[in-house]
Amino acid sequence: MKVKEIKDMATKMGINPGKMKKADLIRTIQVTEGNTPCFQTSNGNCDQNECSWRVDCLAAN
């Protein structure tokens, strides 16, 4: 997902994306959704199979 799309999503959720980096913004969205803020912290060992960010997360590792 592109940063613009993520920023739009964040804004709709009431998050001010400001100049947040992509990973920080996604982690903020994860917290807002009630999930663990784990984006790009798993080193490729992710057990969150239903996560909306899984493909982007694992591709970055």
Q: Which domain holds residue 13?
A: 3-60
- Give percent of the chain above pLDDT 70: 98
Per the structure, the count of domains in the chain is: 1
Residues composing the chain: 61
- Give percent of the chain above pLDDT 90: 57
Model confidence at 61, pLDDT cuts 50, 70, 90, reads: low
Q: Which residue type does 9 have?
A: M
Residue with tokens 């009630």: 34
Mean per-residue pLDDT, 45-57: 87
- With contact defined as beta carbons under 8 Å apart, do 29 and 5 qualify? no
